Structure 1
């Protein structure tokens, strides 16, 4: 079996070299680039990608607490989606976000969760402990970064936060961005 694997690897390498020669690309970098693009949104089409948005540019935002564990991301629910890193270099990772509003186009606005304590920052609002963190750690949301989540870009629903925590997050977002 190991000789078959060697032959197969050799054949694949040969095809990559030939493809690189025909396309003018580096055969070693092409697979990495494809892998990076696929990892950026877990292989989902780019139009479903979670993206960071300028909160001032999203227009009128109506925040209403309406969680419903129906498979769709609803305000008040924590969902998992690919989130771009703050460096905005095309990389990111799968993270929990709190859905805070639904936009007319069907996309959702969200803020990122963290379990790293942030008691002294106006960018972070405590939402307590909940089933979204299997280790039972307290969580905060970062109101300093707002994301647009497409329902087809999320990986899964985790759970809903309680209404009083949602109201606290909504108040912080309204105060910071002058949302209604």
Structure 2
């Protein structure tokens, strides 16, 4: 099979998957379903709480941490979804292949709260993360119980717990690296 014909096959299958995804959303995940409104709830409420409770003095630092966590989680979600390790069958927007309320809002905000708590109260981030990951895992358990998250191929809640901790640590290290560069940037003129 040639490269061009393989690309055409991939495109054809992608079109079929998109058609099935839209058909599923129209049948089971549309505006008239509780699943859609659960997604709306988990999108809006955490954002509203963040706007109320985020530390205004460190808003960019905490937001950078959350954004970094979010990006790692989106990439992980895409990989796991494409490889049938887990699935979020109900989407807020059916054209987006990840769960926006989970990857973009809820889970990153849980760990933004952990990060904010640890820096505001001078607590060990790693220990705080272990505790906040329990909240994230219990949330995943609830989503799984209600069919909003489906786990395959041996994936379980303990794996999700470990993944959340790992992503939080990576986001923490990334944030600290940029904070270090920022502190050094005052003395260095790159141009």
TM-score range relative to shorter protein = under 0.3
Q: Which has the higher strand share?
A: 1
TM-score by length of 1: 0.27
Look at both structures and tell me which one has the larger radius of gyration over its CA atoms.
1
TM-score by length of 2: 0.26
